[in-house]
Structure 1
Amino acid sequence: MIELTERRKEILAIVVREYIATAAPVGSTTIAKVHDLGVSPATIRNEMAALEEAGYLTHPHTSAGRLPTVKGYRYFVEQLMETSSLPPREQRMIREKFDAAGWEPEAWMHLSASVLAQVTHAASLVTAPKPSRSQFKHLELVELRDGLVLLVLVLADGSVEQVRFQLPEARSQEELSALADQLNERLAGLDRHAIAKASLPTIAPVPQVVDRVLELMAEVDRRHGGQLVHAGLEHVLSQPEFANAERATEVVQVFERREPLWPILADVAWSHRGVRIIIAGEDRWDAISDYGLVLADYGAADTRGTVGVLGPIRMPYERAVSVVEYVSGLMSRLLRELYGVA
């Protein structure tokens, strides 16, 4: 294994920052002219060759310069990246915008998306704060025909889910309404884990109905759900990585379909605290393998959401981290004040 000496680390950081800024492969002569490393271009070229051999850099066939690989970007953000707080002037500008928005969480979401896109020149993502687990409010059972039933489930946040399923034997609407009333009384306010542990009758069709309720609530929890606000897609489309029409269509579909984003946003909201950087999908999410994301959770008490930005893998991570960190902290502070949570 090739050792990453301090000089190689410095050169790798320079290549990453230069490539992020210019989108052009970085050559040894450029590094020698712009950065005083105290060594010749030939020495820098040899060090870059070693970094390439180790998998941190690569180079196009048409260029003598080099650019970072996914491995190089990951090493940069984990070991070499320098982050600092957002400058006071920008903090003040952002706070003033939020002060003018009043005490409306939905307005804060749209403002957060706008600010993040404007300051980072990337596409922003903001999800509405939601409880960690969906909570049962009430259900309705509607007889359709020959034991086929429509279950309408209303959750505590007002969202509505429904499913059709077949009962072991047909039941009248009167029987179904009575069963719904019993379950509504027993299950109100419970999440799916509490419902699964609840002491309920085992006589049909109670287990069949409860199973469908649990399946619906599990699906809601899995996809995170809720509102997603985004802005600044034009910033991503203007990058050279997406000049090709096919690539541009792909990034637009990520935002239009949204399904690929929900598991990631939910994971950040509930499994992580602070800023998280995701490069090329981290070998977990193929749908975002061509992008970089900088995300952070925000919220108050047991209510969490996600704010962040998405761009090409070649995105200014240092700048993005400082902005996302500040906006997430500001959103959390505002929600705590709104809900009276310490």
Structure 2
Amino acid sequence: MNKLTERQKTILMLVVREYIDSGQPVGSKLLVKNYRMDISSATVRNEMRALTEMGYLRTTSGRIPTEDGYRYFVSQVMHQADLPNAIQRTISHQFTQAHSSIEQWMTLAASVLAHQTQIVSLITAPRNEQVIFKHVELISTQGRQVLMVLVFAGGDISQQVLTLAETIPQGRLSLVAERLNQSLKSLSEEAISALPSRTDLLEKDILLLIQQEMHQRGDGSAGEIYMDGMANILAEPSFADSDGGRRTLRFFDERSRLQDLLSSTIADSSIGGVQVLIGGDEGWEELRQCSMVLARYGVPGQAVGTLGVLGPMRMHYARTIPTVRFMADLLSGLITENLSGE
């Protein structure tokens, strides 16, 4: 891309901002009138023509931004604005009213993000970057069935119903759980694998199931996805009235691909760092008409997740970016408090 003059930078920023606000192609006369520019519309038109030749704008009864035009705009507004204090206080107050449970935080965060940005929110539950055992409970339910409840460092919980070869009294189940809790507490899967083999067959079987669950949770995939705001996307004509939009909507139903997207695109980002993907930056063809604003949250090395929004390229970046950043910082604080209170 050619280097822009200061005038071209100003005009490009105004075109993108005007198009985001109105959704209509932008003409030179409109810019001069709306922004009281001290140059003629002919000069603005010449500069817009140059920006088009450089790939920042395209012509359609006026000028609209290209993907590169949006990318330039985002690079300029990325750190310019904070979320207004009144909105920060409102959001923080909503979380003080919520119970201290990961699931409720995720559901509320998805709802708040969708409401504040008016597009679709996507949040993955925090997962341990290194899965660490904390506690196991074995509860006799009916006949040979036993409920195994696994708790990992960071508050992540797994529950599964086991069908044993024979009925085991609750007293023995509790004794096995107690022995495992004493020997496995605060250990990683690797450390557990290095322990001496068990002689008790039931204890050995339960230990194998624990290791399998820890291995599955440590495979680097994103956690459970919480979504909200689908109605916001359905109201967008660019999604409802095009093949590309319909492909994007179908993409939301493929949870495994969504998890892959969220885990791969944000994996190398720092906690609280915002990443903006425009027009399928990462090669996701279904998202060619979309932009995503994503951030990691949590505590490095302990429990991390991804949050963000997905919507049309014509989204309000100057409002969306600080909203995502604030929500990431807020959830990181909550996760930190939850870990310190263990």
Range moving further from structure 2, 108-117 or 253-262: 253-262
The one-letter code sitting in structure 1 at the alignment partner of 2:280 is: G
Judge conservation of contact 1:55–1:72 (CA < 8 Å) in 2: yes
The verdict on how the C-alpha distance between 1:70 and 1:86 changes in structure 2, with shifts beyond 3 A counting, is same
Query: What SS class does the counterpart of residue 8 from structure 1 fall into?
Result: helix
Distance 1:243-1:124 versus aligned 2 partners, 3 A rule: same
Report the 3-state secondary structure (helix = DSSP H, G, I; strand = E; otherwise coil) of the residue aligned with 1:131. Answer: coil
Distance 1:332 1:283 in 2: 26
- What is the aligned partner in structure 1 of residue 4 from structure 2? 4
* Greater Cα offset, 272-281 or 236-245: 236-245
Distance 1:82 1:271, change over 3 A: closer
CA distance in 1, matches of 2:112, 2:157: 29
- In the alignment, does 2:297 pair up with 1:284? no
SS at match of 1:223: coil
Quick check: 1:223 aligned with 2:248? no
Which residue does the alignment assign to 2:324? 324
Question: Does the CA-based 8 Å contact 1:12-1:72 persist in structure 2?
Answer: yes
Q: Indicate the residue corresponding to 2:299 in structure 1.
A: 300
Contact 2:118–2:232 (CA under 8 A) maintained in structure 1: yes
CA offset digits 1:188-246 (Å, max 9, x no partner): 94457x799x7999xxxxxxxx9xx99x948962432x211010011122122113164
Q: Residue deviations 1:221-275, cap 9 Å, x none?
A: 2432x21101001112212211316445323222211233223321355410211
Cα distance per residue 1:127-179 (max 9 Å; x no partner) = 10001145699xxxxxxxxxxxxxxxx99656699xxxxxxxxxxx9xxxxxx
Alignment partner, residue 13 of structure 1: 13
Residue of structure 1 in register with 2:22 after alignment? 22
Structure 2 CA distance for partners of 1:51 and 1:280, relative to 1, 3 Å: same
Question: What letter corresponds to residue 292 of structure 1 in structure 2?
Answer: S
Question: How far apart are the structure 2 equivalents of 1:101 and 1:135?
Answer: 27
Equivalent of 2:114 in 109, 113, 117? 117
Code of the residue aligned with 2:239 in structure 1: it is F
Amino acid of the structure 1 residue aligned with 2:233: V
Matched, 1:97 2:94: yes
Q: Which residue of 1 aligns with 2:128?
A: 131
Amino acid at match of 2:232: H
1:184-223 alignment runs, 5 A limit = 189-191=187-189, 217=215, 221-223=219-221
Matches within 5 A, 1:227-238: 227-238=224-235
Going from structure 1 to structure 2, the CA distance change for 1:94 and 1:263 (only over 3 Å counts) comes to same
Change (3 A) 1:42 1:269: closer
TM-score (norm 2): 0.74
Q: Which amino acid aligns with 2:285?
A: D
- For residue 284 of structure 1, what is the amino acid of its counterpart? G
Distance (whole Å) between structure 1 residues aligned to residue 31 and residue 107 of structure 2: 41
RMSD (Å) for aligned C-alpha atoms: 3.3
| Separation in 1, partners of 2:319, 2:226 | 21
For 1:52, the equivalent position in structure 2 comes to 52
Paired residues, what number? 289
TM-score (norm 1): 0.74
Indicate conservation of the 8 Å contact 2:98/2:104, yes or no.
yes
> Structure 1 vs Structure 2: percent identity of aligned residues?
39
Gap runs ≥5 in structure 2: 135-149, 166-182, 198-207
